[in-house]
Structure 1
């Protein structure tokens, strides 16, 4: 089972630039074209939040147009730049999304890997929160299929990356989340967005990976008190490949056209 993973496209109304500088819409279209050219094709595409930049209806209208080019089924959760009600309205045809409250979901019918979406956004704020209700929902949902390999997707990562100016907006309550995951060993991967970089670490007895953005990258500045910055680095997506007997392999896939192919020796 192939699971493609995009994140943080920050789509804008047609003709508007992200931060007034970067054509995030064109960069996302390039990411979709790259994704659609993958062979074999993914079985499902994940989008781990910040679909749009300001949560406005006109942004979601363009987003649905851009997303229509994605051929496999799409599973998306909101990020801190999304607006929950507008996101829900934009995806009203996605029957797996609940009609009210946080946009949690569990999807079982796309392949051997069960996919859980966990909405930890806090309306009006940029940080996430693993509150009691989210903990109860996740505990109950994981207990329903203890023998099924599972991937959990959320937006804000529940750890400190060392980049202080983005860590201020991570998901709070990470210790509670780690305890839940440690009790449910079927979770093969916890995947996040928000941080606009690829990172990986052990968390709660499983592996946590963050997806790069299809637009700008948060600068990797690990010095204490470093000034916030971003770069237009080569964008990328992740490809999670489930193989029986091996488990889940995660690939970092740069987006674009590169020299090659050359003979392999």
Structure 2
């Protein structure tokens, strides 16, 4: 990869809790996010920008968002936020007034959602809000889909990544598929086929790395910076979590396309060794 390659980092599902708390009385999610941020700061080349694809905090409270702000502060590149089902969009907007991407759109039908377009790492990044207020599952209404269609039409030749919280495909993890994207999946697939510049659909929510072809492109989920969901593909498999290694993804333009890498956070033996 060329030395000047730009890199877009994707963090997801940190589920930050208030200081002094543990998630489910077991997981120190703030400490794990701090380790992920420290890992991002060691990347070579350095990250051009960071996007956090939802479930920024666990309960959507002001003290959690204040804690999140402290944890992300070491990042010197642009950091862009989008909500997941655990977030409160109103609280996010109050906690991060300097984040222009959270500003409501003028269109009244779209103003409840976090929808934005940014450019970084030689790519166009489009955030597509899938949140249903007060619910765990996601949806895409006709207004959000029409906005995405218009946004993609503005730059038909620029390699583009669409970021969502809920993945637009079933994963086989039954309890998570039950709170997946319940509306708009087929319409989204049809829309993406009309815009071949979309190199990747990047998602969170699943707390696991999963890849599937979707809508003529590649859709993927990434690990959580905190806990992971147990890989159980049985019918009726229970909702369960485990302390698997946390991680994140990075996406970089290469040879006119996008290459994505998963990064594991933590030390597992020597940092580097050579044959």
TM-score computed with the length of structure 2 as normaliser: 0.93
1:194 is aligned to: 205
1:254 is aligned to: 264
User: 5+ unaligned residues in a row in structure 2: which ranges?
Assistant: 1-5, 105-110
Alignment of 1:35-74 (within 5 A): 35-74=40-79
Structure 1 residue ranges (4+ consecutive) displaced by more than 6 angstroms after TM superposition = none
8 Å Cα contact 2:13-2:207 kept in structure 1 = yes
User: CA RMSD for the aligned pairs?
Assistant: 1.0
1:213 equivalent to 2:224? Answer: yes
Count of equivalent residues: 262
1:112 is aligned to: 122
1:152 is aligned to: 162
1:227 equivalent to 2:238? Answer: yes
1:126 is aligned to: 136
Once the two structures are TM-superposed, the CA of residue 90 in structure 1 deviates from its matched residue by 1.8
1:164-213 deviation line (CA, Å, top 9, x unaligned): 10001111221111111110000010000000000001000000110110
Once the two structures are TM-superposed, the CA of residue 112 in structure 1 deviates from its matched residue by 1.7
Once the two structures are TM-superposed, the CA of residue 96 in structure 1 deviates from its matched residue by 2.8
Once the two structures are TM-superposed, the CA of residue 252 in structure 1 deviates from its matched residue by 1.0
CA distance in 1, matches of 2:117, 2:223: 23
Alignment of 1:93-104 (within 5 A): 93-99=98-104, 100-104=111-115
CA distance in 2, matches of 1:96, 1:165: 32
User: 5+ unaligned residues in a row in structure 1: which ranges?
Assistant: none
TM-score computed with the length of structure 1 as normaliser: 0.96
